[in-house]
Amino acid sequence: MMKSKTLIVFIALFTFLVSLGFGQSDVEIDERSSFRDRLFTGGGVGAGFGTFTWVQLAPVVGYRITNEFSAGIGVQYRYSSYKQFTPKITTNDYGANLFARYNIRTPFFAQVEYEYLDYEFIDAADFSKIRKGNTAFLVGGGMSQPMGGKAFFNLTALYNLLYSPGGAFNPYSSPWVLRAGVSLGF
């Protein structure tokens, strides 16, 4: 039993560390920079396996308005499977977000993000699935360290100002959202 829990933690940690984060190129832009030069992509990919299995995809596309300020949009999808129930129960969550980032001083940035998540949860009384919407307004910051070329290692800590503690119907267990990963600017 201990080996399987250790493996689940290892896989979750591994997928967390290799997940993609928001990215921006460190190439300077000016008023002559093309639309394509100002675009960047990133997002998240994650998974965890075991009695509770989940897979998440969360791509983003952003635009560098100035060298310091960027904004973008993202979508997300998460599939979850609860094998401890007979029959197995699966849920599907999906949502979208808008974000803005200001580079304070290399490598630090401030970020705000608005997220809407449509998610399913399991009612403990009869094991039925219930769908609910959740809005989050996240503020915080982080750091983006170049790894050569257009790749970056990112650490981000955001706080959900709309978080409501308590209740089994919240998609997040904490107001804090922590992210780490590698991003690519194109």
Quickly count: other Cβ atoms within 10 Å of residue 156's Cβ.
21
The DSSP-derived string for 148-171 is STTEEEEEEEEEETT---SSTT-S
Q: What is the CATH number of the domain that holds 61?
A: 2.40.160.20
| pLDDT for res 26 | 54
Number of domains in the chain: 1
| pLDDT for res 15 | 40
| 22 phi/psi in degrees, rounded to 5 | -60, 145
Single pTM value for the model: 0.77
Question: pLDDT tens track of the chain, all 186 residues?
Answer: 444 444 444 444 444 433 334 445 556 788 888 888 888 888 778 889 999 899 999 899 999 999 999 999 999 999 999 898 888 899 999 999 999 999 999 899 999 999 999 999 888 788 889 999 999 999 999 998 988 877 778 899 999 999 988 766 778 889 999 987 766 665
Domain that holds residue 13: 2-184
| pLDDT for res 105 | 93
